[in-house]
Amino acid sequence: MEFEDLEPRKLPPKPRDLSSWGVEELNAYIANLTAEIDRAKAMIKSKQGHRSAADSLFKK
């Protein structure tokens, strides 16, 4: 194993500076983040459903 294998491939994004944003911009930003969270939760639910189906198929 090489040292490079231990380092993260993608660094997490730095938080945005929100101090100069207006209230409307902040509300829109929150709405976009909420939509993205909902999308991620739906994907998790879908993957769990596939896993449950696969688990029930291979259980004796």
pLDDT in tens, 2-59: 666 677 678 888 999 999 999 999 999 999 999 999 999 999 999 988 777 767 767 6
pLDDT for residue 49: 82
Q: How confident is the model at residue 60 (pLDDT cuts 50, 70, 90)?
A: low
pLDDT for residue 33: 97
Question: What is the distance between the alpha carbons of residues 59 and 50, in angstroms, rounded to a whole number?
Answer: 14
Question: What is the distance between the alpha carbons of residues 53 and 14, in angstroms, rounded to a whole number?
Answer: 38
Q: What is the DSSP letter of 17?
A: -
pTM for this one? 0.63
